[in-house]
Structure 1
Amino acid sequence: MQDDPAPPQRSKRPRTRRHLLLRADSWIDSTVWNLGFKLSELWEEITIFSRKFRVRGWKRVVVELADEAMTFGTAGFVLLLALALPAFEETKEDWRSRGDFAVTFLDRYGNTIGHRGIIHEDSVPVDQLPDHLVKAVLATEDRRFFSHFGIDFLGLARALNENAKAGGVVQGGSTLTQQLAKNLFLTNERSLERKIKEAFLALWLEANLSKKEILSLYLDRAYMGGGTFGAAAAAQFYFGKNITQVNLAEAAMLAGLFKAPAKYAPHVNLPAARARANEVLTNLVQGGLMSEGQVIAARRNPASVIDRAATTAPDYFLDWAFEEVQKLADAGKLKKHSVIVRTTIDMGLQQAAEEAMESGLREYGESYRVKQGALVMIENGGAVRAMVGGRDYGESQFNRATKALRQPGSSFKLYTYTAAMEKGFTPETMISDAPITWRGWSPQNYARSYKGRVTLLSAMAQSLNTVPVRLAKEELGTEIIAETARKMGVETALRTDKTIPLGTSEVTVMDQATAYAVMPAGGVQSRRHGVAQVVDYDGDVLYDFERDEPAPVRIVSEQATSSMNRILTQIPVIGTAKRAALDGGIVTGGKTGTSQSYRDAWFIGFTGNYTAAVWFGNDDFTSMNNMTGGSLPAMTFKKLMDYAHQGIELKPIPGIDNPLPSGTHVKGPALADKGEANGLPALSRPRSLSADTTRLLRRLAQSFAAAPPLKAPPQTLAGGKAQVVKVKGAP
């Protein structure tokens, strides 16, 4: 009988593996349980310990409020710091050297129009200033200047209380240090962000400068009206004397200018300046800095000023030109900082531009609910002939022509259509004006209707919105549009999202004027500039625009330029800019623009002679009352251009058959009679030299310059010795 087979032996390896897993699971369970037990014990100990600090009743309310205050305070501090970080970037620059320049500016004809910069040789240390001047400034601007750390919370509370009592703004809460921070680093833009930056920069100034340095910088940099900066310059301008020699009455008048230099400038409104000075004297008494007996003589004998009623300065232009001079120095093109600069500005055109802007705001500002405007005028060739950066330089030195970023609306369509013309389209190309959707966005026309099949000329003349969007989506792409704008002169960084064809990316007035000036220039760079020549006080030419800058290059083809000019010159005829059409048969091209919710209204137009960009809007970005680019902007353009083209030789627009032959002179009186038909009264240009006479005088000047050097006859000195006198400037 055969034995039964032995049972198979089981492997020990699975049993060992299961054993290890059970041990690991047991360790994890026990560890987690022990950890939880320890944490619960720790939490119980913390709870028992914290009960010792538990408060009840009214004390708990105080503690809860303090906790919430600390929480929100910490979050607020982090937020404020994040907002202030961009402002601190300004302090990385050598901001002290901004005042090293001493520049005298001349207009295009050589007449002195203003000064910029700080002449340190003439600057007076605070210790040498009259005591009554320093007291008058502190009593009016910042009584607690020497006791606060840059922000005066007590002064702010007092100002809020006084303003509440008066039902309006009668006192400001900014310290002198905050005002200096604004003057050195920021603009006059009224926004919460600017106030936050201003506060942080005030703290930075207090930490890095002494009180005397802050006061000295404030007295040297503040705008004092009449185109003057600093108390020393204002004393010379208004009283004809050194700042160390001003009496109490004059010091009070100077101290009163810091609040509103345009409103209280004595050469403009002497009664208002004297009334303001009397308030300063009262501040001296109320602040305990002087007694009534000490100020009574100044009350009875108010300051008198030099008659400068006719003095005007293009301050917005001078600020921009001063920045251009500094850029030349930074680029190594200027080796000296005390210079004379011949600018491109034409004071006749500048005055006309200011009058056109101001008259429009006075007549239509209330009905359109608009308070500000800006304008840049460029002559064919790139010379900036006029600039209006705002309504009142004394109230706000923020240059809206060069620094304000605003949505251009339909005036941006120039770049979309120019890119299309470069790709081979023509004004007669047919395209569909129909509903379109692009990545969830469905733009509509202004009238909420569609035209069907239209030409590109008709689409731009009627400012249809779907057409440029269709071109961008199906033919061009947004990158090409942005690149076209950059090539034509838009220096502001542009966004390239899907809405760019309708002008949602912000630009400046200067950007638009520069780019549109490419069209009358035949497609070459407009080369906008405000500095024609820089010389030192020895007469040596340090910089000349025509000599030192490269020649203009073509950026738009002749075909595309001709096509665009054919379109743009039809807009004042059959399109949205009929109010911009000039009198006398002068061909005009241009485009209107209106941004979302009527926040911005534009017209940028040109003739063969000039290009002008006009903008209207509000600093706080509030909506206007249905103002479009074809209304007040176009009317302002027309008023200025009608004036500018009186008595000058008309130049043709490339690619356009002008009804008037080249060289025709437009007579002023005929234009003046017709100017009121478009809303604004016409300006009459004073008689000046004709173009033929100007050319003759230039030829004579060139002949004299090319003539051999003059030889002066010998002159006999007292000792009987002959001396030859050398004529300065002769070769």
Structure 2
Amino acid sequence: MLFNLGLGGWFAFDRAFLRDLPKVPGPEALWSAGRPPGLTFVGSDGQVIARRGPRHGAPVRLTQLPAHVPLAFLAIEDRRFYEHGAVDLRGVLRAGVVNLRTGRTVQGGSTISQQVARNLFLEPDQTLRRKVQEILLAVQLERMLTKDELLELYLNRIYFGDRAYGLSAAAETYFGKSAADLTLSEAAVLAALPRAPTRLSPTNAPDAAWARAKIVLRRLGEMEWLDPKITRAAADGPAPAIVSLGAPGEGDMAWAYDAAAIQARELVGHATPDLVIQITVDPNAQALAASVVRRAMASQGRARGARQAALVALAPDGAIRAMIGGVNHEASPFNRVTQARRQPGSAFKPIVWAAALEHGVRPMDWRSDAPIRIGTWSPRNYGGGYAGAVSVQRALQLSLNTVSVRLARETGLTKVADLAHRFGLTSIPDHPGGSLALGAYEVTPLELAAAYQVLQSGGGQTRPYLIARITDARGQVLYFHPASAAVPVYPTFQAAQMVQMMRGVILAGTGKEAAFGRLAAGKTGTSQNHRDAWFVGFTPDWLCAVWVGNDDGRPMAKVTGGQIPAQIWRGFMSAAHKGLPDTEFAWFPALPPPLYVEEPAPPPADGDLGPVRRNAMASRDGRIWLPPGAELSEASYQDDEPNISEIPY
């Protein structure tokens, strides 16, 4: 009977307190067990540029500290630490008597061992179950570690407020010095914090913090652990000066830190609490980009009905050098570079032209810019006019919608979509509608920048990357971005032809506002009803994509890609290229394609093709010819074509 009762009691105890009791890891793992993750960001030179989350200072040993530092903590938290076990029964009784006399909780009965167990393994809820588990875990810790090791663990893991965990981080945060250099008064202030780190914060409540520190000093003198004259003199003296190295505002770098923090966890998981992340963003380029964006939006944006803008700049290898996700991160942390999906409009046309070149079209082939009707869909040029006979390269410079539709139809919409996929625009459907030619399918600015980089690199795909390397707090490498050559996805000569035609966009087309004194290739883009305006372009040294618009899709006051976005692009690229030599692309053919700025005379009406070759797929009157059995017919657009008839440049 007694055995059954005892067995039943044990099962009840096990069910109530032991089933989910956390396991205590080995001594080494205790230094990181349950520790809130902290992130340290370093630049390309390895220097720290920012910290996020909890601050964890370097581990500190008792032998590295002046005697008054650990004594201050013992005096206020656990004066009999070296005399009792995991639980101090005398201390519990003493605290109970004091609390009954005062009618409120004045003293706690938890030992340092119990506090370590609670902070490392348990939730802060005040329940009998948690208290029992706290005691059981404290017993395990006392068996595993010496008293000195337990005290060291406590000093290095306790929370001191202002995101500082551990004595080293607290000394740095509040006094700007190492724990080994703490004075008696400073040690007393820190020892007073663990009981109520927010309420007694030296930065927010310096008087309350110093009042509690005086109690620490008085107890040190009462117990004669230190000379009472010294402790009394410290208590009667002024409070130590608080330096407060609280986290400074991240400013415009916050866009990069947000994105890097998310990517880092995706790359290495959540098992490692502290990460050191080396990012590719150049703080100088970031500051420049933010300044240019804000200046343009302040001077023109609001007047033209544009509230937001985004800019991303890439190095030739895909490293992200600048990432401005909006006008003001503090007001709106939404990162429009990586998270906003918008219609690229005519900024998608280089994909159409590139697909056409790959399938036999040449820059100086002839096309007719004339009205076109496909079922019930009648795409028109911005402004309503038509240029008539025009070369393919000139049509790109002028961003002619009718020619874009003709080229996409000639090439095959699925083939254009396939090329878009190869360029990294994987969200484009496999079987798109005809509005693909006018940039109706949404992309992010970063995705569009990556697509243009295929042309910048001579036909190779380089995926943009923000993180160069990740290590843990001890320096162990967890991730490293491998240096690799671009993966060929497009012919080099056709890439050179595209570069020359896109240079013409800036020299003699819709992108004239982007010109900044050296050859650059680019393209304007504006979506339906002026909801989005883009300029994306590059040189051998930099690639930059700019978007301007409104988060709610509200139309702007006829803002086009050749206006505010082109001006932002020019401002950034002009400054970014200062001091750089004006070089040609290293991959350019020895005999590069010609750079046409002026359009040659059109072919005579009598049918002589003259200097401009017609492509075999285009008829002489400009109508589209499709071979029998072609995949797409005009009828395929009669029912499901979006009502997109006019896309500005």
What's the TM-score once normalised by structure 1's chain length?
0.51
- Where does 1:563-712 land on structure 2 (aligned, <5 Å)? 563-583=497-517, 586-653=518-585, 654-655=587-588
Give, in angstroms, the shift of residue 239 of structure 1: 6.7
- Which of 1 and 2 has higher RCO (CA within 8 Å, sep 6+)? 2
Cα deviation per residue 1:364-389 (whole Å; 9 max; x = unaligned)?
12221111100100011111000000
Inter-partner Cα distance in structure 1 for 2:330 and 2:43: 21
| Mapped contact 2:44–2:280 kept (Cα < 8 A) | yes
Indicate how the Cα distance of structure 1 residues 641 and 450 shifts in structure 2: closer, same or farther if over 3 A, else same.
Answer: same
| Mapped contact 2:363–2:393 kept (Cα < 8 A) | yes
Paired position in structure 1 for 2:80: none
- Where does 1:219-618 land on structure 2 (aligned, <5 Å)? 232=163, 244-247=196-199, 312=251, 314-329=253-268, 336-473=272-409, 475-494=410-429, 496-546=432-482, 551-583=485-517, 586-618=518-550
Indicate how the Cα distance of structure 1 residues 656 and 211 shifts in structure 2: closer, same or farther if over 3 A, else same.
Answer: farther
Give the letter for the 2:512 counterpart: K
| Mapped contact 2:55–2:163 kept (Cα < 8 A) | no
Give the letter for the 1:401 counterpart: V
| Mapped contact 2:345–2:438 kept (Cα < 8 A) | yes
Give, in angstroms, the shift of residue 106 of structure 1: 1.0
- Where does 1:92-131 land on structure 2 (aligned, <5 Å)? 101-116=37-52
Inter-partner Cα distance in structure 1 for 2:53 and 2:243: 27
Inter-partner Cα distance in structure 1 for 2:488 and 2:516: 29
Give, in angstroms, the shift of residue 538 of structure 1: 3.0
Cα deviation per residue 1:88-137 (whole Å; 9 max; x = unaligned)?
xxxxxxxxxxx975331112222322334668999xxxxxxxxxxxxxxx
Give, in angstroms, the shift of residue 307 of structure 1: 8.6
- How many residues matched? 403
Paired position in structure 1 for 2:135: none
Inter-partner Cα distance in structure 2 for 1:631 and 1:477: 32
Indicate how the Cα distance of structure 1 residues 410 and 231 shifts in structure 2: closer, same or farther if over 3 A, else same.
Answer: farther
Paired position in structure 2 for 1:140: none
* Secondary structure in 1 matching 2:317: coil
| Mapped contact 2:162–2:246 kept (Cα < 8 A) | no
- Where does 1:708-723 land on structure 2 (aligned, <5 Å)? none
Inter-partner Cα distance in structure 2 for 1:652 and 1:658: 13
Cα deviation per residue 1:62-92 (whole Å; 9 max; x = unaligned)?
xxxxxxxxxxxxxxxxxxxxxxxxxxxxxxx
Give the letter for the 2:296 counterpart: G
Give the letter for the 1:563 counterpart: Q
* Secondary structure in 2 matching 1:365: helix
Give, in angstroms, the shift of residue 651 of structure 1: 3.7
Give, in angstroms, the shift of residue 502 of structure 1: 0.3
Inter-partner Cα distance in structure 2 for 1:247 and 1:522: 61
Give, in angstroms, the shift of residue 414 of structure 1: 1.3
Inter-partner Cα distance in structure 1 for 2:574 and 2:379: 36
Inter-partner Cα distance in structure 1 for 2:368 and 2:174: 68
Give the helix-richer structure, 1 or 2: 1
Give, in angstroms, the shift of residue 309 of structure 1: 7.0
* Secondary structure in 2 matching 1:467: helix
| Mapped contact 1:102–1:119 kept (Cα < 8 A) | yes
Cα deviation per residue 1:512-545 (whole Å; 9 max; x = unaligned)?
1111111121111122111112223333333221
| Mapped contact 1:113–1:314 kept (Cα < 8 A) | no
Indicate how the Cα distance of structure 1 residues 252 and 102 shifts in structure 2: closer, same or farther if over 3 A, else same.
Answer: closer
Indicate how the Cα distance of structure 1 residues 100 and 467 shifts in structure 2: closer, same or farther if over 3 A, else same.
Answer: farther
Name the Cα RMSD after superposition: 3.6
Provide structure 1 residue ranges, at least 5 long, that are not aligned to the other structure.
Answer: 1-98, 123-208, 213-229, 254-302, 660-731
Indicate how the Cα distance of structure 1 residues 366 and 339 shifts in structure 2: closer, same or farther if over 3 A, else same.
Answer: closer
Inter-partner Cα distance in structure 1 for 2:530 and 2:542: 27
Inter-partner Cα distance in structure 1 for 2:521 and 2:397: 11
* Percent identity of equivalent pairs: 34
Give, in angstroms, the shift of residue 614 of structure 1: 0.2
Give, in angstroms, the shift of residue 408 of structure 1: 0.6
Inter-partner Cα distance in structure 2 for 1:646 and 1:591: 22
Indicate how the Cα distance of structure 1 residues 335 and 366 shifts in structure 2: closer, same or farther if over 3 A, else same.
Answer: closer
Inter-partner Cα distance in structure 1 for 2:321 and 2:492: 26
| Mapped contact 1:599–1:622 kept (Cα < 8 A) | yes
Inter-partner Cα distance in structure 2 for 1:353 and 1:211: 47
| Mapped contact 1:377–1:384 kept (Cα < 8 A) | yes
* Secondary structure in 2 matching 1:572: helix
Give, in angstroms, the shift of residue 448 of structure 1: 0.4
| Mapped contact 2:251–2:329 kept (Cα < 8 A) | no
* Secondary structure in 2 matching 1:421: helix
Inter-partner Cα distance in structure 2 for 1:644 and 1:423: 36
Give the letter for the 1:451 counterpart: A
Paired position in structure 1 for 2:30: none
Give, in angstroms, the shift of residue 565 of structure 1: 0.7
Inter-partner Cα distance in structure 2 for 1:628 and 1:491: 26
Indicate how the Cα distance of structure 1 residues 444 and 311 shifts in structure 2: closer, same or farther if over 3 A, else same.
Answer: closer
Give the letter for the 2:256 counterpart: F
Give, in angstroms, the shift of residue 485 of structure 1: 1.5
Give, in angstroms, the shift of residue 233 of structure 1: 6.8
| Mapped contact 2:292–2:571 kept (Cα < 8 A) | yes
Indicate how the Cα distance of structure 1 residues 364 and 430 shifts in structure 2: closer, same or farther if over 3 A, else same.
Answer: same
Indicate how the Cα distance of structure 1 residues 594 and 355 shifts in structure 2: closer, same or farther if over 3 A, else same.
Answer: same
* Secondary structure in 1 matching 2:342: coil
* Secondary structure in 2 matching 1:362: helix
| Mapped contact 1:609–1:650 kept (Cα < 8 A) | no
Give the letter for the 1:450 counterpart: Y
Give, in angstroms, the shift of residue 476 of structure 1: 2.0
Indicate how the Cα distance of structure 1 residues 246 and 363 shifts in structure 2: closer, same or farther if over 3 A, else same.
Answer: same
Give the letter for the 2:528 counterpart: Q
Inter-partner Cα distance in structure 2 for 1:116 and 1:497: 45
* Secondary structure in 1 matching 2:350: helix
| Mapped contact 1:488–1:514 kept (Cα < 8 A) | yes
Cα deviation per residue 1:480-530 (whole Å; 9 max; x = unaligned)?
222212211224454711111101111101011111111121111122111
Deviates more, 1:448-457 or 1:243-252: 243-252
* Secondary structure in 2 matching 1:652: coil
Give the letter for the 1:486 counterpart: H
- Where does 1:172-187 land on structure 2 (aligned, <5 Å)? none
